[in-house]
Amino acid sequence: MTTNNIIEQLKQKGLKVTPQRVAIYEAVIKLKKHPTAEKVIEYIKKNHPNISVGTVYKVLESLVENQLLKKVKNEKDVMRYDAITQHHHHLYCTDSERIEDFEDRELDRMIQEYFSRKKIKGFKVKEITLQITGEFKN
Amino acid sequence: MTTNNIIEQLKQKGLKVTPQRVAIYEAVIKLKKHPTAEKVIEYIKKNHPNISVGTVYKVLESLVENQLLKKVKNEKDVMRYDAITQHHHHLYCTDSERIEDFEDRELDRMIQEYFSRKKIKGFKVKEITLQITGEFKN
DNA sequence: TTCTAAATAAGAATTATTATCTTTAAGTAA
DNA sequence: TTACTTAAAGATAATAATTCTTATTTAGAA
């Protein structure tokens, strides 16, 4: 995603385009691997040495609210952020903090088909994400 | 689950049977709805007014290590705990902090079958849990 | 160019959780 | 039953992540 693209997206959401917002959004996209707020701060400080920690948290939060980012979390660590692209699942490593994306349209179709056939009583499903835990082989 | 049952389980895991451990384990089971450490403390204080916060955290942690409890977390709140029964998924409410269990053996079988057929490259799957987000219809 | 609301910076405050250190008590064996 | 050993509990300090507050700055509209 280009910087112009990022600016365009912020505008579309009615967010003021500030250098901080652009940098933070760009950082999450560039860093991939679901960075924590801390990783984002570390990365951004290179070009924006004076950026405030609170700003990073606030901007991340507002990008999530505006559906430009998503939060990801497993049971053992702090909040992480993920750029919204296509719907995907997450592979969590049992032995480390590693998290990877996993996309599988066929799987999605199968699950979607399953739940359109078999409703959950008293619950309206909006989204299903698989938390796949296991081990990365080397 | 009876108190004797709880005591038996602690013994089986080689954990000393203390009133605090029994109370904490019992609380998570009784409270259902995936209580936070705070909820557990609140509940336990009724019968154990002098229990220490650190103890609750420590005991919860050791019950998780000994696979008597599981941690559950979604993207918007603090750690929650869940008694281990059968394998199950979670229904997360988009509008509140509510989390419910969801069991479906047929679904599990279907997913298991899918992944035994279609491997994930470089990853050995151990467990798959669905994070189903949506709305509870009162 | 000026104006105004919204955003940022700085740092204090809060919250959840963990660590430390002393005291207590569970389980074992005499 | 009693005494012993060691793990567990209690109290509280420390830490880490995140949120809040207030003054200052700036993006975008007029």
| Residue A106 with chain B: CB contacts under 8 Å | 118
pLDDT in tens, B16-27: 999 999 999 999
Q: Say yes or no for a CB contact (<8 Å) between A133 and B129.
A: yes
Contacts of B24 (CB under 8 A, 6+ apart): B40, B44, B56, B59, B60, B63
Q: Say yes or no for a CB contact (<8 Å) between B122 and A131.
A: no
Stretch B28-53: mean pLDDT: 90
Q: Is the pLDDT at A79 greater than 80, yes or no?
A: no
Q: Measuring CA to CA, which residue among B77, B81, B72, B84 is closest to residue B39?
A: B81
Minimum-distance residue to D17 (CA–C1'): A78
| Residue B79 with chain A: CB contacts under 8 Å | 75
Q: How far, in Å, is the CA of A55 from the C1' of nucleotide C9? A: 8
Confidence of residue A84 (pLDDT cuts 50, 70, 90): low
For chain A, domains (ranges, CATH) are 3-83 (1.10.10.10), 89-134 (3.30.1490)
Predicted pLDDT at A19: 96
Stretch A23-47: mean pLDDT: 90
Burial class (CB in 10 A: 0-12, 13-18, 19+), A84: middle
pLDDT in tens, A49-73: 999 999 999 999 999 899 898 888 6
The answer to whether the CB of A22 falls within 8 A of the CB of A51 is no
Mean residue pLDDT of chain B comes to: 88
Predicted pLDDT at A77: 52
Predicted pLDDT at A36: 87
Q: What is the CA radius of gyration of chain B?
A: 17
CA separation for the pair B134, A121 (Å, rounded): 12
Residue with more model confidence, B138 or A35: A35
Q: Is the pLDDT at B100 greater than 90, yes or no?
A: no
Predicted pLDDT at B51: 94
Predicted pLDDT at A13: 94
pLDDT in tens, B55-97: 999 999 999 899 898 888 655 555 677 766 778 898 988 888 7
Contacts of A137 (CB under 8 A, 6+ apart): B122, B123, B124
Q: Say yes or no for a CB contact (<8 Å) between A114 and B114.
A: no
Mean residue pLDDT of chain A comes to: 89
| Residue B76 with chain A: CB contacts under 8 Å | 71
Q: Is the pLDDT at B1 greater than 60, yes or no?
A: yes
Nucleotide nearest to A71 (CA to C1'): D18
CA separation for the pair B132, B55 (Å, rounded): 33
Predicted pLDDT at B54: 95
DSSP string, A25-85: HHHHHHH-S--BHHHHHHHHHTT-TT--HHHHHHHHHHHHHTTSEEEE--TTS--EEEE--
CA separation for the pair A61, A65 (Å, rounded): 6
- ipTM of the complex model: 0.75
Q: Is the pLDDT at A74 greater than 60, yes or no?
A: no
